[in-house]
């Protein structure tokens, strides 16, 4: 369990660093970096989802009287965080693809 927590922390750190590149570009050069940041967000979201789904606890086995197990939701914080990261990356890609470049005078 400790290994999966450190992997989730590493994935979150990579996502934060990748997200700091910016999700939205205003000119050709900025859009390239924004696409890289968006790709990092999508990859980090996918990795977080995969780590969460592969590190689940084994299902509870109740005794003969159907005692010993309590309800545990299959949706937890890491899964939600992964979906939010991936959705933010996809939104950034779509936003950059449809946004016009800003003409700056130099």
Name the pTM for this structure.
Answer: 0.68
Tokens of 90: 């996809």
Per-residue pLDDT 10s for the chain (106 aa) are 455 666 667 766 766 665 555 556 677 777 888 888 889 889 989 998 998 888 877 777 777 777 777 777 778 888 888 898 899 889 888 888 887 777 766 6
What burial class does residue 95 get, using C-beta atoms within 10 Å of its C-beta: 0-12 exposed, 13-18 middle, 19+ buried?
Answer: middle
- 39, 47, 101 from 94: Cα distances, Å: 12, 21, 14
pLDDT of residue 17: 63
The phi and psi torsions of 49 (rounded to 5 degrees) equal: -65, -45
Q: Tokens 């980090």 sit at which residue?
A: 44
């Amino acid at each position: 369990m400790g290994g999966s927590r450190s992997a989730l922390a590493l994935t979150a750190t990579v996502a934060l660093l990748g997200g700091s590149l910016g999700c939205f570009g205003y000119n050709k050069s900025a859009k390239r970096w924004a696409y890289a940041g968006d790709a990092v967000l999508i990859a980090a979201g996918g990795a977080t989802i995969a780590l969460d789904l592969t590190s689940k606890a084994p299902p509870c086995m109740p005794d003969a009287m159907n005692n010993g197990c309590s309800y545990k939701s299959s949706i937890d914080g890491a899964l939600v965080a992964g979906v939010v990261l991936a959705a933010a990356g996809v939104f950034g890609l779509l936003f950059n693809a449809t946004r016009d470049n800003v003409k700056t005078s130099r």
